[in-house]
Copies of this chain bind each other. A is one copy, B any other.
Amino acid sequence: MNKQELLAGLQPDIELINESMAADFSSIGSSRLAEVVDYAVFNGGKRLRPLLTVLMGRLVAFTRMPEGIADEEDLRPPPDLYRLAMVFEFLHAASLLHDDVIDHADTRRGKKTANEVWGASTAILAGDYLHTRAMTLAGLVGGQETLGLIGQATGAMIDAEFLQAQTVADVNLSEENYFAVLRGKTGALISSACEVGALFAGADRDQRAAIRTFGDALGLAFQVVDDLLDYLGDSASTGKAIGNDFCEGKMTLPLIHAIKNSPPPQKQLLTDLLTSGGPADRQARIADVTAIIAEAGGFYYAKQGAETLVSAALEALADFKECESKDILHGLAHYVLSRDK
């Protein structure tokens, strides 16, 4: 499945997710609040999380059908699956709204951020609204188990933000602790997006475990690729400055690998920049740093790590029936590896 086929396959679900979100905003009283959340949610995002919910719901529903009863395309998912899916887009948008306030970011995906357009207070409150709405829908549409999964994932995300702050410039950070932070920061929400879709469609215990494995691995791969793009991406595509993570002292996989595997002088330079240099010193040496990481095989190592994770994710789906949703999930997983923004 090439990228064009993938996008065409996803389009109908994306439209239903979007319709569901727009309908939900119609209950908002303040026209300004409605305008801000609309702006935040309809911002050119890829809808990865809600798509995972819908696709997992479809995959499980089809796998659970007796053989020969129906084609997959006859199984139209109920509107509630899309309402549950949108919960993940709301949570994602809420966290981006608050992140942009925290980072004083003025653009995102080439558009002004909400805090830039309306100010930080409005962006904070709009994030709070999406957050509240998401948690409420999680429980009302999905039930208590769904709410528990999502509550745990959202709590873990915030907890991980604090843990990550504690690891800044920690040149001895282990890969294990790096992945622990990743698991909370991105993995938890992606994994619960998958599991909630499976739960909705009545997955049994083994199916849920398999889908959790898929989600965990895909979430980690997604973030490892993000960390790679931070060094190697094209600023024009990613919309972010190259080497931003290093400047902020963020310890990501390529860097951790390089510190462990570089010859003493290079290792010393990285360590000095991280422990005694400031963001400006790091920025000034970013080309050297990137070369050192490349020389130590840090990027190759991280890329391989992401590939291994994606393979593990896809393997977890082996026992589900072959169908269009499964093909698309394969396509999405490969897209996560090859994306350039």
Asked if A30 is an interface residue, CB under 8 A from chain B, the answer is yes
In the bound assembly, the distance between CA atoms of A155 and B143 in angstroms comes to 19
Which of B29, B144, B165 is A159 in contact with, Cβ under 8 Å?
Answer: B29
Residue from A121, A138, A166 having most chain B Cβ neighbours under 10 A:
A121
Beta-carbon contacts under 8 Å, A23-49 to B: 28-30, 32-33
Asked if A308 is an interface residue, CB under 8 A from chain B, the answer is no
Does B132 contact A166, Cβ atoms closer than 8 Å? no
Residues of B within 8 A of A152 (CB): 136
Does A139 contact B147, Cβ atoms closer than 8 Å? yes
Residues of B within 8 A of A155 (CB): 129, 132-133, 136
Does B124 contact A162, Cβ atoms closer than 8 Å? no
Asked if A102 is an interface residue, CB under 8 A from chain B, the answer is yes
Chain A contact residues (Cβ within 8 angstroms of B): what range? Answer: 35 or more
Does B132 contact A162, Cβ atoms closer than 8 Å? no
Which of B94, B120, B131, B162 is A102 in contact with, Cβ under 8 Å?
Answer: B120
Does A29 contact B132, Cβ atoms closer than 8 Å? no
Using CB atoms, name the residue of chain B closest to A136. Answer: B151
Beta-carbon contacts under 8 Å, A132-166 to B: 132-133, 135-136, 138-140, 143-144, 147-148, 150-152, 154-155, 158-159, 161-163, 165-166
Which of B29, B30, B128, B135 is A151 in contact with, Cβ under 8 Å?
Answer: B135
Residues of B within 8 A of A133 (CB): 151, 155
Asked if A294 is an interface residue, CB under 8 A from chain B, the answer is no
Using CB atoms, name the residue of chain B closest to A103. Answer: B121
Does B151 contact A140, Cβ atoms closer than 8 Å? yes
Does A166 contact B30, Cβ atoms closer than 8 Å? yes
Asked if A98 is an interface residue, CB under 8 A from chain B, the answer is yes
Which of B139, B150, B159 is A30 in contact with, Cβ under 8 Å?
Answer: B159
Using CB atoms, name the residue of chain B closest to A27. Answer: B155
Given contacts A132-B155, A151-B132, contact A163 B30 (CB under 8 A): yes
Asked if A125 is an interface residue, CB under 8 A from chain B, the answer is yes
Does B158 contact A32, Cβ atoms closer than 8 Å? no
Does A162 contact B30, Cβ atoms closer than 8 Å? yes
Asked if A101 is an interface residue, CB under 8 A from chain B, the answer is yes
Which of B120, B136, B144, B163 is A148 in contact with, Cβ under 8 Å?
Answer: B136
Residues of B within 8 A of A125 (CB): 98, 102, 158, 161-162
The distance from the CB of A178 to the nearest CB of chain B, in whole angstroms, is 15
The distance from the CB of A7 to the nearest CB of chain B, in whole angstroms, is 32
List 20 A–B pairs whose Cβ atoms lie within 8 Å, in order of A's numbering: A29-B184, A33-B158, A33-B162, A94-B128, A98-B124, A101-B124, A122-B162, A125-B158, A125-B162, A127-B128, A128-B158, A129-B158, A133-B155, A135-B136, A135-B147, A136-B151, A136-B152, A140-B144, A140-B148, A147-B147
Known: A101-B124, A102-B121, A102-B125. 15 other contacts (CB 8 A): A29-B184, A33-B158, A101-B120, A128-B131, A131-B132, A132-B154, A132-B155, A133-B151, A135-B135, A135-B136, A135-B147, A138-B139, A139-B144, A139-B151, A140-B151
Across the A-B interface, the 7 shortest Cβ-Cβ residue pairs: A136-B151, A135-B135, A30-B162, A139-B139, A102-B121, A139-B147, A33-B162
